[in-house]
Structure 1
C-alpha cells in the first residue's frame, strides 16, 4: 500500500507518519498493559499513523490509522467510560449490562483523522478486528484480521474493478474513497479503473 500511495497518491503518502521505534511500541504496551499483536507491531514499525489529507485518511471510508499517542489516549478514555458503565452495570440485570470497551481491544482505525465516533480495533485476545461505535452501530459480518483487511485494501488499489468495500479514487494527489465524498471532492474525484 505504501508503495502504491507513493507512486499514485503522493499527498496521502506524505500524510503517513514515520514508523515507530521498538522502544515506542514497548512503551505503548506498558501504557496499555497488554501485548501488541505481531501484525499491529509490524504496521506500527512501517507507519505510526496517518495525519490524513483534507480530513480523510487513506483507508476505505476515508478512515485513518491512529498514531501511538492517539491509541493510548483513546484506549484510556474508553476504559474510563467502561469503568463508569461497570458501576452502573452493578445495578442492572445481566441482560441489560453495557460493554463499551474491553481491555484486550486496541483502537487502530477511527472514522477519520480527527473523528473518534466509530472505528476499528484489534482484539489482542483473538487477533480479529472489531468495530466500536458511539452510536451502537452493528459490527458487521466480516471477520478480518489486520493483515487480511490491509491485503484487501491493497488489492482494491491494484484492481479497483474488484473493490467490494468501497471504491478508490483520486482527488489531485490524494487517495479518496467514494463512500464519503463531500460536494467539493465529488466534482474533482477520479475513480480508479482497472
Structure 2
C-alpha cells in the first residue's frame, strides 16, 4: 500500500498503545482477542482516503473511539430491548447485540450504520446493521478475513469477492463504487496490477 496507494496508506492511524487497548477493554467490559489486539497495535484504525476505506467493499478498520461508541450504542439498544421483553419467554426475545461482540469494521470512514463485529467468545465475525437486519455470523475469523483481503491485493486477478483498484493514490474496491457518473471519480478507477 505504501507504494501503490500512498493516500490510503497515509490514512492508516498509528498503532494503539497498551494503555489505549487496556482502556478500551475496560470500557467494553470484554477481553480483546489476541488477533484483534495485534491488529490494533499495528494500526488503530483507518480514516479513509477520498471517502473510501482500504478494506474490501471500501470498508474501514474502525478507530478505537468509534469501536467504543458503536459498542455502547448497541449495548444501550440491547438494554432497551431487554426491558421491553422482560415478561416474554426467553425464546421469544430478540438478540439485538451480545456484550462479547466487538465492532471492528465499518461501512465507511464516517458511516458506522453497518459493519462487521468480532465475537470475542467464539472468534467468528458477524454483520450488524442499524437498518433492522438481524446480526448474522459470517463464520470467518478476523484472521481469515484479513488474509483473504491480503490475497486479493497480492493477486487481484484471482480475487473472488471484490476487485482492488486505484483512483490516483487511493485504494478503491470495485464493489464499493456506484454507477460511474460522466467525468466522476469512478471513471478514473483502474484495476490494481498484481
Fold match, TM over 0.5? Answer: yes
Unaligned runs of 5+ in 2: none
Q: Is 2:47 aligned against 1:47?
A: no
Structure 1 match to 2:59:
63
Higher helix share: 1
Q: Is 2:158 aligned against 1:162?
A: yes
Q: Classify 1:138/1:155 alpha carbon distance in 2 versus 1 (closer, same or farther; 3 Å).
A: farther
Q: Is 2:148 aligned against 1:152?
A: yes
TM-score normalized by the length of structure 2: 0.92
CA distance in 2, matches of 1:59, 1:139: 20
Structure 2 match to 1:176:
172
Q: CA deviation at 1:168?
A: 0.7
Q: How does 1:1-194 map to 2 (within 5 A)?
A: 5-92=1-88, 94-137=90-133, 142-182=138-178, 183=180, 184-194=184-194
Tell whether the 8 Å contact from 2:103 to 2:115 is kept in structure 1 after alignment: yes
Q: Deviations over 1:71-122 (max 9, x none)?
A: 1111111100110011112244545422221100000001111111110001
Unaligned runs of 5+ in 1: none
Q: Classify 1:37/1:14 alpha carbon distance in 2 versus 1 (closer, same or farther; 3 Å).
A: same
Higher strand share: 2
SS at match of 1:83: helix
CA distance in 2, matches of 1:76, 1:141: 20
Tell whether the 8 Å contact from 2:114 to 2:130 is kept in structure 1 after alignment: yes
CA distance in 1, matches of 2:109, 2:171: 14
Tell whether the 8 Å contact from 2:125 to 2:137 is kept in structure 1 after alignment: no
Q: Deviations over 1:55-74 (max 9, x none)?
A: 11000110001111111111
Tell whether the 8 Å contact from 2:128 to 2:136 is kept in structure 1 after alignment: no
Cα root mean square deviation, aligned: 1.6
Q: Classify 1:139/1:81 alpha carbon distance in 2 versus 1 (closer, same or farther; 3 Å).
A: closer
Deviating 4+ runs (over 6 angstroms): none
CA distance in 2, matches of 1:164, 1:96: 38
Q: How many residues align?
A: 190
CA distance in 2, matches of 1:105, 1:138: 14
